[in-house]
Amino acid sequence: MASQIDVEMETSVGRGWTVQDAKSKFSEFLDTAIEDGPQIVMRRGVETAVLLPIEHWRRLERLAAPDLKELLLASEPRTDALTPPRRRYRLRPRPPSD
């Protein structure tokens, strides 16, 4: 499922912005993301973050969440996430013996 998300991001990512440009022209940056799709923010020439429209974000969240069929047919155990970790309890001090 993650590969489908990666493909979706790669096909729709817009131009890159430096941090300074994104900060100084935030309204334009936001409008461009809404109109043209995801916009990459680069710090020192390295892709660091992405701004994307909320509809796009919600679609990616839906794609990332496993559905019931995937959970039931999964080969790995499903109970790990259901069982909370055991807490280590402190032992009470012994009552004084008379």
3-state SS, residue 1: coil
pLDDT for 80 equals 62
CATH code, domain carrying 29: 3.40.1620.10
Is residue 54 included in any domain, yes or no?
yes
Is residue 87 included in any domain, yes or no?
no
pLDDT per residue, tens digit, the chain (98 aa), is: 444 444 444 444 667 999 999 999 999 999 999 999 999 999 999 999 999 999 999 999 888 877 788 878 888 776 666 667 777 777 788 888 87
pLDDT for 68 equals 80
Instruction: Give the predicted TM-score (pTM) of the model.
Output: 0.54
pLDDT for 24 equals 96
Which of 22, 11, 24, 28 is closest to 49 using CA atoms? 22
Is residue 69 included in any domain, yes or no?
yes
The count of domains in the chain is 1
